[in-house]
Amino acid sequence: MEGPAVSQSVWRSLLLAGLFAILCHAAAQAQGASDDINCRTAYPAGFTPADKGVFPSPKYPRAALNDWSEGFALLEFTVTAQGEVRDVDVVDAMGAKEFVTTSVKALLAHRFKPAMRGGAPVAQPLHTFQISYMFSDSKPEADHSEFIETFKRARRQLQDNQPDHAIVTLNRMFLWRLNLYEQTLGSYLLALAYVQKQDGESALYHANHAVGEGVSYLDDATRTAARELIVKLLAQTGNVAGALCAINDLPPASRPSFARLDMDLRNALASDSPLVSDGKILKQPLTDQPPTWRRKLMRGKFSFANINGEVASFRLACVATSFDSAVNMETQWTVPEGAGSCFIRVTGAAGATFKFVEER
């Protein structure tokens, strides 16, 4: 199946806008930017992470089996000092809603070997685990003729510069029985539709949805195109560190074309100027949890600005600690010393936007 395309003029306008926003907040470019961008989880000194041990595969939900569905659930949670699971959040999911409920139920019933620090068991937030539900004969190809025809129709709508029509077409398609290849390919086309609408955050959500975190169900060529799309979208929305890590994840053959962007992003990250990124709260369709926006922190202080809509609260989850707070535009929060890698999860009304500001 021929892959969809996005015009160079659209990309040019998106990237120029995104890089202009980044570099305006890094006016004095630092020399000798470090090559050591911390893209992996960083643990504090003397910290041993929790161990899941042998995790029994959950039983395939009967409702999903009857519908001949495939899917996955990527979960983030805290492992307590007693090895119990709490504060489960759904980072991403695909397929039948039963995959999420079954995964959460199985995770809550499991006992981990707790994290250790200074010889004593401690709680560990920011633990992630993905559970996939696939058939043994699953293949990276389109199995349903209805999917193929609908995908082609949505692609033609994009070629005719009708992204709203393409989005409606694709969202209807996700109500059908689809394998993971079909779902991820549809998500990739949705991302391209939101690119045409110049909605970077929504495009990024669907592009990440297509690629997955650590596991991808796309064919190699489409997966590479989706990863390149993610790099551009992360740069556009001001996620400097995320874009750098995404460049590191690209196949070697793709990296030379991103060399200039890589250099500009490293200079912005090395600067003492604030890192300012766009935030947009989105609803995860397969869960009942509040709409969220999620980001890895790269600096020790953060604040919110230019809030438009209801941005209610956030949870800062670090390897060694976590805390919750209401959001306001007057406070600057500080990450506790020795916290390790941290992610922030902001909740509020779907569609609400804001600026997220990180400082040293």
CATH of the domain at 94: 3.30.2420.10
Based on the structure, what is the number of domains in the chain?
Answer: 2
Assess if residue 53 is contained within a domain. yes
- pLDDT digit string (tens) for the chain, length 360 residues: 544 544 444 444 443 333 333 333 332 233 233 345 678 788 888 999 999 999 888 888 877 776 667 889 999 999 999 999 999 999 888 888 889 999 999 999 999 999 999 999 999 998 888 898 887 777 778 888 899 999 999 999 999 999 999 999 999 988 888 888 999 999 999 999 999 999 988 999 899 989 877 667 888 899 999 999 999 999 988 899 899 999 998 999 999 999 999 999 999 888 999 999 999 999 988 788 899 999 999 899 999 999 999 999 999 999 999 999 999 999 999 999 999 999 999 999 999 999 999 999
Assess if residue 13 is contained within a domain. no
Assess if residue 256 is contained within a domain. no
Quote the longest CA-to-CA distance of the chain.
63
* Whole-number Cα distances in Å, 265 to 20, 130, 240, 245, 271: 11, 30, 6, 11, 10
Boundary-marking domain end, from 133, 149, 177: 133
Pick from 130, 128, 66: nearest CA to 103: 130
Assess if residue 195 is contained within a domain. no
* Whole-number Cα distances in Å, 33 to 164, 269, 320, 359: 41, 8, 28, 17
Pick from 147, 16, 134: nearest CA to 73: 134
Assess if residue 201 is contained within a domain. no
The structure's pTM equals 0.80
Taking the C-alpha atoms of residue 53 and residue 192, their distance in angstroms, rounded to an integer, is 40
- In sequence order, the 6+-apart residues with CB closer than 8 A to the CB of 217 are 140, 180, 181, 183, 184
Q: How far does the chain reach from its first CA to its final CA, in angstroms?
A: 47
DSSP string of 127-152, one letter each residue: EEEEEEE--TT--SS---HHHHHHHH
CATH of the domain at 356: 2.60.120
Q: What is the side-by-side order of every strand in the sheet holding 342-348?
A: 292-296, 342-348, 311-318, 322-326
Instruction: Look up the domain containing 336 and give its range.
Output: 274-360
Q: What is the side-by-side order of every strand in the sheet holding 71-79?
A: 85-94, 71-79, 124-133
Assess if residue 70 is contained within a domain. yes
